[in-house]
A = this chain, B = another copy of it.
Amino acid sequence: MSEPKNEDPIRTFLGSAHIFANAVAQIIEEKVWREAVGNQLTVSQLKLLKLVSLSGEHKIGDVAAFLGISNAAASKAVDKLVRRMLLRRSEGEADRRAIHLSVTGPGRRLLEAHESATKEKLAEILGDMPPGTLSKLTDLLDQVSSKIIAYSAQSEDICVQCGIYFRERCLVGQELSRRCLYMRQKDAGRKAASQVPTGSGPDS
């Protein structure tokens, strides 16, 4: 509808998807997010910081997979944040090949400021959407994402690229009946916690 005698609906849909993706990336992430931290951090750095704060310690490879960048890029990004004293890097205890990451005090303060400022802005932008529209849209998006991801990867163990947005009940993961990186991480955390209660693993 509203595209009367136009072309391929799939193509039309892709057009909307493209604009939407750009709007989210460029305006919400690039503009809203970065303004919230006074443009002191790039978007990748912000994501990295947030990821570590949410999910506790990580291997570099996991960080890279979550963020959708290469191993090398993740390593260098971590390096930069460590040098700015926002992240702490220590060697793994069990496996000395792996590193452990954690957020420092200043880093955590920066993130908290970011959280509240962003939440406010987003309410301003999307707050007047008809109630239910957003959740309906969320469901539809998840359905389509599942189809697309299912097409590309038959393998079970592929990250769905939730980035910093992982959540407890991820429709995409469910539809694909796939254990994404986040779920794997959680399981590992739970298993470890049952032995040594260090309190790892993201608590939603």
**Contact residue among B7, B28, B142, B168 (Cβ-Cβ distance under 8 Å from A16):** B142
B122–A17 contact, CB under 8 A? no
Contact indicator B137/A24 (Cβ below 8 Å): no
Contact with B along A110-151 (1 / 0, CB 8 A): 000000000100111110010001111111111111011101
When each residue 133-173 of chain A gets 1 if its CB lies under 8 Å from chain B and 0 otherwise, what string results?
11111111111110111011000000011110111111110
Contact of A138 with B68 in the complex, beta carbons under 8 Å: no
Whether a CB of chain B sits under 8 angstroms from the CB of A10 is yes
The complex places the Cα of A18 from the Cα of B9 at a distance, in Å, of: 22
Q: How far is the CB of A139 from chain B (nearest CB, A)?
A: 6
Residues in B whose Cβ lies below 8 Å from that of A134 = 9-10, 13, 144
Is A14 in contact with chain B by the CB < 8 A criterion? Answer: yes
Q: Mark A59-86, 1 if CB is under 8 A from B, else 0.
A: 0000000001000000000000000000
Q: Is the CB–CB distance between A162 and B18 below 8 Å?
A: yes
* Copies of this protein, total: 2
A27 at the interface (CB under 8 A from B): yes
- At the interface, yes or no: A1 with Cβ under 8 Å from chain B? yes
The verdict on A195 contacting chain B, using a C-beta distance below 8 Å, is no
Chain A to chain B contacts (Cβ below 8 Å), 20 pairs? A4-B169, A6-B168, A7-B167, A9-B134, A10-B126, A14-B28, A14-B122, A14-B165, A15-B170, A16-B142, A17-B20, A18-B24, A19-B161, A19-B172, A23-B144, A27-B148, A27-B152, A124-B151, A125-B151, A126-B147
**Which B residues lie within 8 Å of A126 (CB)?**
10, 13, 144, 147-148
Asked if A193 is at the interface of the complex by the 8 Å CB criterion, the answer is no
Residues from chain B with a CB closer than 8 A to the CB of A15 are 162, 165-167, 170
Contact A27 B149 (CB under 8 A): yes
Question: Quick check: is A3 within 8 A (CB to CB) of the other chain?
Answer: yes
Across the interface, do B19 and A21 meet the contact criterion of CB distance under 8 Å? Answer: no
Chain B residues near A170: list those with CB within 8 A: 15
User: Contacts A10-B123, A161-B22 hold; do A137 and B141 have CB atoms under 8 A apart?
Assistant: yes
